[in-house]
Amino acid sequence: MRKRLLGLAAVAMAALMSVSHAEDKKVTIGVSIPAADHGWTAGIVFHAERVAKLLMAEHPGLNVIVKTSPDAATQANAVQDLAVQGIDALVILPSDPDPLVNAIKEVKDKGAFVTLVDRAPSSNDNSVRDLYVAGNNPALGAVAGQYIKEKSPDAQVVVIRGLPIPIDQQRQDGFDQAIAGSNVKVLEKQFGNWNRDDAFKVMQDYLTKYPKIDVVWCQDDDMAVGVLQAIEQAKRTDIQYVVAGAGSKDMIKKVMDGDKLIPVDVLYPPAMIGTALQLTAANFYDQVPVRGSFILDATLVTKDNAKDFYFPESPF
Amino acid sequence: MTDLAANKPSARISWRNIDLAAVAPFVALALLLVLGAFANPNFISIDNLLNVLTRSAFIAIIAVGATFVISSGGLDLSVGSMVAFVASLTIMFLNSGAFAGPGAMLAAAVVVAILIGAACGLANGLITTLGRIEPFIATLGTMGIYRGLTTWLSQGGAITLRSPDIQSLYRPAYFGSVLGVPVPIIVIVATAALGAFVLYRTRYGRHVLAVGSNEDVARYSGIPVSRVRTLAYVIQGLCVAVTCLLYIPRLGSTSATTGLMWELQAITAVVIGGTALRGGVGRIWGTVCGAFILEIVGNIMLLSNFVSEYLIGAIQGAIIIVAMLVQRSLARR
């Protein structure tokens, strides 16, 4: 009897819960992101899908549609397709922000909540988006510069940059400002195109050109792979360490394991797409104000906090 | 003039026997070496030159295959993507642990890479010949396919060789050396020698050049044009496979950006080497020299102190054009 009562109670509970679930607010969030064409965007896709699953489990009334597009033109179409399906919010990481402004505005004018991630158009105000979530490019350079300045005040540094585009310049400016007035000396800067093979070549040539290099700042974890290989091949022992950035699982693992050449990593995490999704969902379910700009710190990943940023399942 | 010639007949004849067009790329290379020595004394050091020659192995070996395709009147734009695709599949095979020992695994991987490379080349060949599609369009299509499949296999991230045993066994294939000569340089010379033998000394090689210079005449002479062309693409696929076998041990991983734009570098190397883009002429050793020139130009830029990092692309382009002009002016005599 008692068992049966308990059973009934359980059934009643389940019924009640399903009722409350049915009453859970119906919200559809469209997510438009670039296709996974290199490591970082692969991370974006991974984290968008991961957090979408988490959120949908938490809010049964929530539907998150994730769409990837290889270029700006296709992404504009994808945004339109999402709008046709009827979305309450759009979370977008534009592959190229300026050409997409009109497509985004159209969605916003229909009353959808718009969250813009990482890449801002030239007029980044509340006529385009409600919420802006981004990493901090100048800080990525500044944190690296600060670390080098403190750890090795008289270091001779070689720099491998990405591609000649604005975010690369912002990172470089941040770095230059951080080491300004110190004894840290930049021997040379060259572009490695955020590509492993190109970074390998540039590093090989640096090693030929300079008999003594203390520190390498290569901005990006992908390029660090090539840099480490070049150093190993040349059997050079003068290089104390390499500072990269982004937060790929391989480099975070090296920091966790206490690799001498990779003591730290500077965060520019693709998981920020998850931050944007969470905040957007909070706008609908938690009645908390989220409109505005949310700029993530370029956190310095050290041996102590590395496990917080380690995603062994991620492709990046 | 005639008197002079009569006085020194032997000298005149030997001078005539040298094919200036074939020598031209080597003259351009020599000029670049002199320029490099002025830019930075470290340039001429043995270590640096060996580094640069080793680095050029990927493009040089691919370009040997491209010489066959181009001199047969074809074109292959898919080679860069093919490198990424073949290398990714080979690494995945190495990770699968199908064979017990690392040695057996590695030997099997060599066979796998060569089979996949040949299959990719065969696909290109059949699409252009059986499908009668312009090589430019056909290989533009397969370029997208191979690149897309690589991105899909890697989910946009990297495919990394996991077993440290295999890695340490495999590493010398790129970083090792025999009697002081790095392995990749030996592979370049071996591939080019084999390529030159096939192109200049075999019936198939003469068929390639005949098909490239005039398809109709070749067909009326009884040459199986489609088969010759298809085989040229298979040779290209084999060269890509050899490149992959050298590429994998370098970084131990591939990503969606592996081999990006390598097809253009390979075609540039072939053209600098004196092979005509319209087909009918093939110069294997010139091609290898062209690949060296491309790599050396980049190296000189980096070692010199007077070029801004923003201008490197422009100067590289200019040097390639000057190298071509030197070549043409010698060839015209």
Give pLDDT tens digits for A111-138: 899 999 988 887 788 888 999 998 888 9
Task: Return the pLDDT at A6.
Answer: 55
How distant is the Cα of B49 from the closest Cα of chain A, in angstroms? 10
Quick one: CA dihedral B130, B136, B138, B142, positive or negative?
Answer: positive
Query: Residue A36: its chain B contacts at CB < 8 A?
Result: 151, 155-157, 256
Task: Return the pLDDT at B42.
Answer: 85
Query: Residue A190: its chain B contacts at CB < 8 A?
Result: 302, 309, 312
Task: Return the pLDDT at B312.
Answer: 78
B253 three-class SS: strand
Task: Return the pLDDT at A39.
Answer: 79
pLDDT band with cut points at 50, 70 and 90 for residue A173: very high
**Are B253 and A191 a contacting pair at CB < 8 A?**
no
How distant is the Cα of A122 from the closest Cα of chain B, in angstroms? 24
CA–chain centroid gap for A41, Å, is: 8
State both tokens at B88: 């990714």
Task: Return the pLDDT at A3.
Answer: 57
pLDDT band with cut points at 50, 70 and 90 for residue A179: very high
Query: Residue A191: its chain B contacts at CB < 8 A?
Result: 309, 312
Instruction: Read off the pLDDT of each residue in B270-291 and give the average, rounded to a whole number.
Output: 90
Task: Return the pLDDT at A279.
Answer: 93
Task: Determine which of A33, A163, A196 to mutate to test the interface with B (most B C-beta atoms within 10 Å).
Answer: A196
pLDDT band with cut points at 50, 70 and 90 for residue A238: very high
Amino acid at B114: I
Instruction: Read off the pLDDT of each residue in A138-148 and give the average, rounded to a whole number.
Output: 93
Query: For the segment A262-288, what is each residue's pLDDT rounded down to a tens digit?
Result: 999 999 988 999 999 999 999 999 888
Q: Which residues contact A298 (CB under 8 A, 6 or more apart)?
A: A135, A136, A139, A140, A142, A143, A245, A266, A267, A268
Instruction: Read off the pLDDT of each residue in A228-256 and give the average, rounded to a whole number.
Output: 92
Cα angle vertex B183, ends B178, B187, to 5°? 125
How distant is the Cα of A242 from the closest Cα of chain B, in angstroms? 17
Residues of A (198-217) whose Cβ lies below 8 Å from B: 200-202, 204-206, 208-209
**Are A45 and B51 a contacting pair at CB < 8 A?**
no
pLDDT above 70 as % of chain A: 93
**Are B257 and A200 a contacting pair at CB < 8 A?**
no
Instruction: Read off the pLDDT of each residue in B16-43 and give the average, rounded to a whole number.
Output: 82
Instruction: Read off the pLDDT of each residue in B98-114 and give the average, rounded to a whole number.
Output: 91
Quick one: CA dihedral A183, A188, A194, A196, positive or negative?
Answer: negative
Task: Return the pLDDT at B8.
Answer: 45
CA–chain centroid gap for A302, Å, is: 18
Instruction: Read off the pLDDT of each residue in A42-66 and give the average, rounded to a whole number.
Output: 91
Q: Is the pTM of this model over 0.80?
A: no
A175 three-class SS: helix
Cβ-count burial B250-269 (b if 16+ within 10 Å, e if not): bbbbbbbbbbbebbebbbbb
Q: Which residues contact A13 (CB under 8 A, 6 or more apart)?
A: none
Q: Is the pLDDT of residue B11 over 50?
A: no
Contact A175, A141 (CB under 8 A): yes
**Nearest CA-CA partner of B25 in B281, B236, B263, B320:** B320
pLDDT above 90 as % of chain B: 56
How distant is the Cα of B314 from the closest Cα of chain A, in angstroms? 14
Task: Give the nearest partner residue to A37 out of B156, B298, B303, using CB atoms.
Answer: B156
What single-letter DSSP state applies at residue B100?
Answer: S
Task: Return the pLDDT at A22.
Answer: 45
pLDDT band with cut points at 50, 70 and 90 for residue A41: confident
Domain ranges of chain B: 57-277
Instruction: Establish if A240 touches chain B: CB-CB under 8 angstroms.
Output: no
Task: Determine which of A197, A229, A253, A316 to mutate to test the interface with B (most B C-beta atoms within 10 Å).
Answer: A197
In angstroms, the CA B130 to CA B40 distance is 52
A3-17, A100-114, B79-93, B246-260: segment of lowest average pLDDT: A3-17
Q: Is the pLDDT of residue B22 over 90?
A: no
Task: Give the nearest partner residue to B309 out of A42, A189, A315, using CB atoms.
Answer: A189
Q: Nearest-CA residue of chain A relative to B152? A: A36
Most trustworthy range by pLDDT among A110-114, B35-39, B234-238, B261-265: B234-238
**Nearest CA-CA partner of A51 in A277, A312, A227, A307:** A277
Task: Return the pLDDT at A14.
Answer: 52
| Cβ-based burial of A17 (10 A; exposed 0-12, middle 13-18, buried ≥19) | exposed
Q: What is the number of other CB atoms lying within 10 angstroms of the CB of residue B310?
A: 10
The mean of the pLDDT values for chain B is 88
Q: Is the pLDDT of residue A206 over 90?
A: yes
Instruction: Read off the pLDDT of each residue in B72-81 and give the average, rounded to a whole number.
Output: 95
In angstroms, the CA A288 to CA A281 distance is 10
Query: For the segment A79-94, what is each residue's pLDDT rounded down to a tens digit?
Result: 888 888 889 999 999 8
**Are A37 and B42 a contacting pair at CB < 8 A?**
no
Query: Residue A206: its chain B contacts at CB < 8 A?
Result: 302
pLDDT band with cut points at 50, 70 and 90 for residue B289: very high
Query: Residue A35: its chain B contacts at CB < 8 A?
Result: 151, 156
Q: Is the pLDDT of residue B88 over 50?
A: yes
In angstroms, the CA B80 to CA B143 distance is 8
Q: What is the DSSP string of B30-81?
A: HHHHHHHHHH-GGGGSHHHHHHHHHHTHHHHHHHHHHHHHHHTT-----HHH
In angstroms, the CA B129 to CA B211 distance is 13
The mean of the pLDDT values for chain A is 87
Query: Residue B48: its chain A contacts at CB < 8 A?
Result: 208
How distant is the Cα of A35 from the closest Cα of chain B, in angstroms? 8
**Are A315 and B303 a contacting pair at CB < 8 A?**
no
Q: Nearest-CA residue of chain B relative to A39? A: B157
Instruction: Read off the pLDDT of each residue in A32-54 and give the average, rounded to a whole number.
Output: 88
Q: Which domains does chain A have, with CATH numbers?
A: 24-135+270-285 (3.40.50.2300), 137-267 (3.40.50.2300)
